[in-house]
A and B are shown apart, each in its own frame.
Chain A
Amino acid sequence: EAQVTQNPRYLITVTGKKLTVTCSQNMNHEYMSWYRQDPGLGLRQIYYSMNVEVTDKGDVPEGYKVSRKEKRNFPLILESPSPNQTSLYFCASSFVENTEAFFGQGTRLTVV
């Protein structure tokens, strides 16, 4: 089944404790991206990747890192999480840019 898989689905952590949210797609898509969704603000892009080893900042990259060492994986790293990063996070992939995006199930992160 074609899908984008995020883990974990839910995470509660403390300020400053490094964490990684994994994202994997099995569709051989080149383009992957991370979004955060906050009430009243919609979906905002954090980082995106056009292909392996090619990543770039989206609209709200501060406090986040990503890597794209393999085509299928695009982890989101929070080196020192803060409470303002409490949000619902979505990973998405597309065959190439400018085509239909497939979203993962989401990761609800709470930083206390």
Chain B
Amino acid sequence: GQQVMQIPQYQHVQEGEDFTTYCNSSTTLSNIQWYKQRPGGHPVFLIQLVKSGEVKKQKRLTFQFGEAKKNSSLHITATQTTDVGTYFCAGDDSGGSNYKLTFGKGTLLTVNP
């Protein structure tokens, strides 16, 4: 079955440093979604990427979808303490049938003020 690998598992940065998490799928994805989970909270949707090579920005966050639609990345510029949490990617390889979203294991980001 589909596997979605996410690295790194943990990342600790100083406030102001950049952060990147990477997501790789064993199969070609129809789309990829990113979620953030604050400590003690629930996953919250950040963005969905659909097109090959797509790049989207949300303020200091940049999301990319690979040309082959098998990998993705989330980059945060100049991290802040509010960025703390676990970032998950979630991929769909169903091609529209039997839809199933498979989550990566997440990257836990901690930020030292």
- Tell me the A residues contacting B by CB distance below 8 Å: 31, 33, 35, 40-45, 48, 50, 56, 58-59, 90, 92, 97-106
Q: For chain B, which range describes its interface: under 10, 10 to 19, 20 to 34, or 35 or more residues?
A: 20 to 34
Once A31-B99, A40-B105, A56-B98 are accepted as A-B contacts, the answer to whether A98 and B30 lie under 8 Å apart by CB is yes
Once A31-B99, A43-B103 are accepted as A-B contacts, the answer to whether A103 and B42 lie under 8 Å apart by CB is yes
- A35→B42 CA distance, assembly (Å): 11
Contact between B99 and A42 (Cβ–Cβ < 8 Å)?
no
Contact between B42 and A98 (Cβ–Cβ < 8 Å)?
no
Once A40-B105, A42-B104 are accepted as A-B contacts, the answer to whether A100 and B33 lie under 8 Å apart by CB is yes
* Chain B residue at minimal CB-CB distance from A44: B103
Q: Which residues of A contact B60 (CB under 8 A)?
A: none
